Structure 1
Amino acid sequence: EPNIPAATSETKTSNLDKVFWPDEGYTKGDLIDYYRTVAPSLLPYLADRPLTLVRFPDGIDGKSFFQKNAPDFVPTSIRTEWIDSSNPDEGSAGNNFFVCESVEALTYIINLGAIPLHVRASRVASIDRPDWCVLDLDPKTAPFTAVVQVARAIRSLCDDIDLPCYVKTSGKTGLHILIPMGPRYDFEQQKLLGELIARVIEGQMPDIATTIRSPSKRGDKVYLDFVQNGRGKLIVGPYSVRPVPGATVSTPLRWSEVTPKLDPTRFTIRSAPRRIGRMTNDPLAPVLTDRPDIAASLRALAAKM
């Protein structure tokens, strides 16, 4: 179990009674309590990783904005790191990101009104070497049972090419499949891995799976989104809360739970901490430590094309 530093008395919070989820009556204080409770499970995924916030200072029905740069007045005890821009053509040399590694830092960040926490696939120490490849299964108008079918097909394919893969809910209507990478490979290999898996699955299941990006051209198919791979690309972090009615949480799953009976809306800021307490281990944790032979898996995938 990780050694999680406690929040200090200097970690000030404010407006704890402000309602962030009107339908449920959940407050900013409830959100902070949730994140502090799940910190031992969450922080390993944030350690040494640049963090992008989405802030909702007036709750989910108010205005929101992305924030990459940590403000100048951040307490010195909270780590920040300058990361060069992934795309200098956008006019920014880079950003000074939060790196959240303690309950104190987590409390400070959530007190800013941050609801979801978005993470990169790479850490500061290995910024050009991703820890994982992700496939985001987005149903839009497809039934969730189709998402389950596609997810299980990806797992079967990964088994065939000797590649471990892990799954979590997106916190909304989809699933995220994460494949550990080491970090021993670069982002071009990460993107190639994601695309090849998506293309093979699309070929196997053309009636329910597609790689077509345009929602209007997908029909009722599950979108195999492999473009969330690449330097600077983000996914919502495991155990992150989503700014949607119900206060749902992006929740790591056992593969045995990925069945037609799975209901991703049942994982919320109320139920997720109880679930964590019942589980003996985190089913997603190996994505941070597994070191598969990606090069061999890429060759096996190419042979299936």
Structure 2
Amino acid sequence: MADTGSRTLRLLSLMQSRRHWSGAELAARLGVSVRTLRRDVERLREIGYPVEAQPGVDGGYRLARGAVLPPLVLDDDEAVALTVGLQSAAQSAVAGMGEASLRALTKVVQVLPARLRRRADALRAVTTTAAWATGPTVDPGVLTTVAHACRDTERLTFGYTDSAGVHSDRLVEPVALVALGRRWYLVAYDTARGAWRSFRLDRLADPTTTGVRFAPRQLPAEDAEAFVRAGMGPRGRWYAVEVRIAAPAGPVRERIGAWATVEDDGEHACRIRMAADDLSWPALAIGVVGAECTVVSRPELRDLLGEWGRRFSRAAEDAAPTAGMPAAT
């Protein structure tokens, strides 16, 4: 890569994507010699990123905590606002928002100075976010700790309470975080049980990294999401729904963009797609839009809307006029 500035940015991006890199790996990814890599690392240090060098067979480079965010990118107040916002968004598991927010949060927290982390934690501690969806919540600190362990291929310990209320201590090799519906799952290899497992993060306590790295194993599924879905069984049935809405995509996206994927389907229509473990959520989203619609899939959603429609019609017919108010005509 001939452009030194571009190569430096590429080096920074690589170091933010993984906790530890060997010098040979980094040099190969950048297409430069190890000597040129050392100069590029020094350049990063000069602009405020504390890159640590570790000698020895297992040595290499890593981006240390406490780096100052470049002032032309974010000032202190913006950095705090971004961190708090990402922590809130990371707890939303709809339309891919949670996963994208968590990836961004992992990068920001890695280089956020301690004084700004304290400000962000204090603000988050006294802030309550109202949400449409109900269900178990996950502490952002748990999310980021587990995400770092997955990214750095570092063994992780935690306490876990299963669906039967039985508590156990686990030592695992974490591979991926999966957001499904309103829940987060960790996919990991349980070293004591010698088997792959998925863990709900709202049932996980005190995750702690061990500092011991591992070589990733082959996951017995197409990907982490498929592994989690397969382990849900009949009680964890998942619905992928598609509905055509007789309204432009723009207004529909403003109403339910965080719940579903909204795509144009002609000048005056659009299609929404979403996945849910409870069909009440897509039914509610359709009702919020307030426009004519056609259920493309699934039949179960069509049946549910029919049931709701009949129930609401009966409620409207049976409603008595409020005292002192004329009946509707």
Is TM > 0.5 for Structure 1 vs Structure 2?
no
The structure carrying a bigger strand percent of its residues is: 2
Larger radius of gyration: 2
Higher relative contact order (CA 8 A, sep 6+): 1
The structure carrying a bigger helix percent of its residues is: 2
**TM-score with structure 2 setting the length:** 0.24
